[in-house]
Structures are given as C-alpha cells and as structure tokens.
Amino acid sequence: MANIIEVKNFTKQFGEFKAVDNISFEVEEGSIFAFLGPNGAGKSTTINTLCTIIDKTDGTLTINGNEVSKEKGKVRRDIGIVFQDSTLDNKLTVEENLKFHCEFYNVPKEDIQNRISFVLNLVDLEAWRKAPINSLSGGMKRRVEIARGLVHYPKVLFLDEPTTGLDPQTRANIWEYIYKLQKERNITIFLTTHYMDEAEICDKVAIMDHGKIVAFDTPNNLKKEHTGLVTKIGVSKVYDFVEYLKMNHIKYSQEETMFTLYSNNLKKIIDVTSNFKDIITDLETTKGTLNDVFLAITGKEIRA
C-alpha cells in the first residue's frame, strides 16, 4: 500500500534545544499508527509540525504527496485533528460546532446535514445534536471532537492523546469508534497515547525518546525483540523450589509464595512445572507487554 505520510530527516529546534532530532518514518494509507514516548520526547512537536501549526527547522514532511510547510491549504484539507485539550466552542451547540467546521472546510452545503448525522451516529451522539457543549460530560465532548475531526472526511485523522483523562469505559468506547471508522472509511489514524494497551491494537508503533525514534515496528515484533517469556508460578513449599531455580540458573523474583521467572527457554520452564507439579498452586505465562517494551527501551516509567 502507498504511504500517506512521509517524513524524512525532520528536525525541529527551539533556540539551541533540539526537540526533534533528524527523524524519518512512513505511515501506510489506511493503517493505525501510534506514536509513543515519555513527556517531552518530541511527539507533540512532530504532530504540531505535521498539522501545520509550527514550522519545521529542517527535513521534508509530506501528507498525501503535499509538502506540509509549502502547501498548508491542501494539507489542512486532508487532515482532521483531535487535540489534547478541548478546542470546541463551549457557547455553541453540538450541531453548530459541526456546522461551522463544515463551513470552514468548504463542505458542500447540501451534504452538511447528512454528514453531521453520519458522524454523530458514529459516536452515538445523535440525541445530543441540539445540546450546548457546556452541558456535556468530558467523554462526550471528546466524542464531539472526534466527530468534528471527521465531518470533512479527512484522509488522515490525528489524535493527540484522545483518551487521556477519561474513564476506562469511555476509553473503550472511543476505541470502538476509532476502529469502526478506520474500517468504514479507510482513514489513516495517527495517534499519540500514554496507554500502552491502546497501542497494542495499532498496526505500527514508533517509540520516541529525546527527539529520536528509538524503535519502529509492529507491536508483536517489538514485543518479540525486546521482551521474553515471563512465567508466574505460585508454590506451596518455597524452600525446595528456590534451591531448584538457583541450581538451574533461572532468573527469578519472589514475592512470598509467588515467583516470576525470566527465561526464554521454554523447555526449562516445562521442566520446572513437571518437577514441582504437586506443590504448584498457580501458573501464568505471558509474552511481556508493550509497557515492558517501552520500559526496556526508554528506561523510564511512562506518566499518564
């Protein structure tokens, strides 16, 4: 598939400080792409540059074949943006916010009503069409923003931390909308998030730190490469078990009767479980999460 976003040797400097340092990446059309990184890693700077809010210092950035800093008008027409903080007009109603957005983006007059219905149905807000933004909850406002970002049918939807500060239920719902959307309209979705479980469902993930991209792959490949097999075992007799682990050189950590074993050797793990099958009370094996990948790469706990 063709690349809808292409970034080559992009650098952004604020005075002496390099917020983004010579990064390159591509995003395929119709995919979900996640940008991860600790606060201050340069994610928002990259998004803001792609969204034509700030200008690059160096490099080339194209969206749908248009150079971002040269053809701002064309780029702006092709993208929809949901920012971290609300950018709705609180004094207007849901419908008015969407309607003015259509006017700003030159949506054909006769299409406006249909499109508003379509996007409001997508985020389950048709019933709130006439409600003033003031009267909505935080999650509903975010849904209005997503609907608004879509109503001009963009090719790429940028979501800058779309679910930060929302409760788990609302987060799950919003992901459902994003998924539905990507399927129904084949929109490319470019998002940043602090929640690793959200990044798991993306097609490609880029991890950024100190202005550089430190990892770029599918979530599964990243996990394969940066984390191993993690086995949690609960036992009723601790002493013999510890002796055995030490003898066989298996790395472990212990919390009372719960052990976590770090070994990629599947055979060794199976031996452990068969040797101690009578005293094992609990068993769980996992592949390591993106969170582990993230920590392995950046060495920092991510802040929500």
Partner 1 sequence: MRGMTAILKRNLINFARNKTQLIFSIVMPLFMLFVFSFVMKPTTADISQPINYLISGIIIMSVFQSSLSNSTNILEDISMGFMKEIIVSPIERWKISIGQVLSSTIIAVTQGLLIIIIALFMGLKLDAPQFIQMIAVMGLVGITFSSMGLFLATVAKKSTTFQVMITAFTLPLTFLSGAYIPTTIMPKILRPLVYINPLTYTTSIFRYIALKMNDLSTAELIKEGVSFDIHGFIVGPFTGILIIIIMGLIFFSLCVYKFNKADFSDVKVFNPER
Query: Site for partner 1 (CB under 8 A): which residue of 84, 170, 182, 275?
Result: 84
Count the residues of the shown chain that bind partner 1, applying the rule CB under 8 A.
38
Q: Which residues contact 161 (CB under 8 A, 6 or more apart)?
A: 84, 191, 192, 193, 194
Both tokens assigned to 103: 């006017």
Residue 35 near partner 1 by CB under 8 A? no
Residue 41 binds to partner 1 (criterion: CB under 8 A): yes
The answer to whether residues 83 and 51 touch, using CB atoms and an 8 Å cutoff, is no
Please pick, from the candidates 2, 8, 9, 53, the single residue that binds partner 1 as defined by CB under 8 A: 53
Report the distance separating Cα 292 and Cα 300, nearest Å: 10
Angle between the N-to-C axes of helices 112-122 and 168-185, in degrees from 0 to 180, rounded to the nearest 10: 130
Tell whether residue 113 is a contact of partner 1 (CB under 8 A): no
Of 16, 17, 267, 274, the residue at the interface with partner 1 (CB under 8 A) is 17
Considering only the stretches 50-58, 118-126, 268-276, 280-288, report the one whose residues sit in contact with partner 1 under the rule CB under 8 A: 50-58
**How are beta strands 251-255 and 258-262 bridged, if at all?**
antiparallel
CB of 9 to partner 1, least distance (A): 20
Q: Closest separation between CB of residue 29 and partner 1, Å?
A: 21
Q: Which of 18, 77, 129, 194 binds partner 1 (CB under 8 A)?
A: 77
Residue 288 identity (one-letter amino acid): G
Closest Cα partner for 200 from 36, 79, 16, 74? 36
**Residues in Cβ contact with 272 at an 8 Å cutoff, skipping those fewer than 6 apart:** 231, 233, 244, 245, 248, 250, 261
**Pattern of binders to partner 1 over 124-153, x per CB under 8 A?**
------------------------x-----
One residue of 7, 81, 94, 233 binding partner 1 per CB under 8 A: 81
Q: Is 105 in the site for partner 1 (CB under 8 A)?
A: yes
Q: Which secondary structure element, helix H or strand E, spans residue 119, and what is its range?
A: helix 112-122
Q: Which of 70, 91, 180, 237 binds partner 1 (CB under 8 A)?
A: 91
Residue 116 sits in the site that holds partner 1 (CB under 8 A): no
Q: Which of 158, 133, 112, 115 is nearest to 5 (CA)?
A: 158
Residues that bind partner 1 (CB under 8 A): 14, 17, 19, 39-45, 48, 51-54, 73, 76-77, 79, 81, 83-92, 96, 100-101, 103-106, 148
